[in-house]
Amino acid sequence: NAGVTQTPKFQVLKTGQSMTLQCAQDMNHNSMYWYRQDPGMGLRLIYYSASEGTTDKGEVPNGYNVSRLNKREFSLRLESAAPSQTSVYFCASTFRGRSYEQYFGPGTRLTVT
Amino acid sequence: DAKTTQPNSMESNEEEPVHLPCNHSTISGTDYIHWYRQLPSQGPEYVIHGLTSNVNNRMASLAIAEDRKSSTLILHRATLRDAAVYYCILRLSTSGSEKLVFGKGTKLTVNP
């Protein structure tokens, strides 16, 4: 099993550009999450999806949209990137009801200039 | 969500036990205590969790104070691979909440 995979690993955007971060898991998990981690900080939840077809806002949703494409895939879209969105983005997944044990992907390092 | 307080950094020597403290004085009766760790340039990984009783698994032990206002993650014999940032997190066990709230964590340095 590959676990949780994220693409791309690195990305540089100019202010105002858009992009979609992709996340997929092959563990048959119900719930998926997007976090961001700024330098020297802990992770902050952007959006989560408790099950296929549902999404909810986390702590810092402004400037982002998400799509739970199917059970395996959960994408994060930046419509108009801003320098404040420079961060490392992590996707995670778990079985519903077992959110204490989330499995994280390797992260996408995004720089917005 | 209730908050946790951890020291910014700690140091240990290889093959010695490590006790990582966490204060959570505003914890409620239904909050679970979780620990995750993040190795350099990787995503976090689950370590252990508990509610009231002490817990052991292959990675670590979790000691929870009787009043639940503090807890300690114990690594019995630190190795160089245990150098990471350790996060103490509370999560509501009811109301369908599926969110973990990460703080800044404790950066553990393990000296050879």
Digit-coded pLDDT (tens) for A33-42: 999 999 888 8
Interface test with A, best of B58, B98, B102, B106 (most A CBs within 10 A): B98
* Residue B49 one-letter amino acid: H
Q: Which residues of B touch A101 (CB under 8 A)?
A: 46, 49
pLDDT tens-digit series, residues B68-104: 999 999 999 999 999 999 999 987 655 555 677 788 8
- What would the DSSP string read from start to end of chain B? ----B--SEEEEETTS-EEEEEE-TT--TTEEEEEEEE-TTS--EEEEEESSS-EE-SS-EEEE-TTSSEEEEEESS--GGG-EEEEEEEEESSTT---------EEEEEE-
Contacts of B43 (CB under 8 A, 6+ apart): A4, A90, A92, A104, A105, A106, A107
Helix (DSSP H) and strand (DSSP E) numbers for chain A: 0, 11
Residue A88: is its pLDDT beyond 90?
yes
- Identify any residues that bridge with B23 across adjacent strands, giving them in sequence order: B5, B70
Q: Which residues of A touch B87 (CB under 8 A)?
A: 42
CA dihedral B42→B46→B48→B51, nearest 10 degrees, is: 130
Q: Do A45 and B100 touch (CB under 8 A)?
A: yes
CB distance A68 to A74 below 8 Å:
yes
Question: Mean pLDDT, to the nearest integer, of A75-91?
Answer: 97
Q: Do A101 and B46 touch (CB under 8 A)?
A: yes
Residue B26: is its pLDDT beyond 60?
yes
Q: Do B102 and A106 touch (CB under 8 A)?
A: no
Distances (CA, A) of A63 to A85, B19, B110: 8, 40, 39
Per-residue DSSP letter, A73: B
What does the pLDDT read at residue B93? Answer: 59
Chain centroid, CA B58 distance in Å: 15
Q: What token pair was written down for B28?
A: 């409620």
Q: Which residues of B touch A35 (CB under 8 A)?
A: 102
What does the pLDDT read at residue B98? Answer: 65
Interface of B with A (CB under 8 A): 32, 34, 41-46, 49, 87, 91, 96, 98-105
Q: Do B44 and A41 touch (CB under 8 A)?
A: no
Q: What token pair was written down for A63?
A: 């400037």
Q: Is A61 on the interface with B (CB under 8 A)?
A: no
Q: What token pair was written down for A54?
A: 């549902």
- Which of A40, A100, A106 comes nearest B43 by C-beta? A106
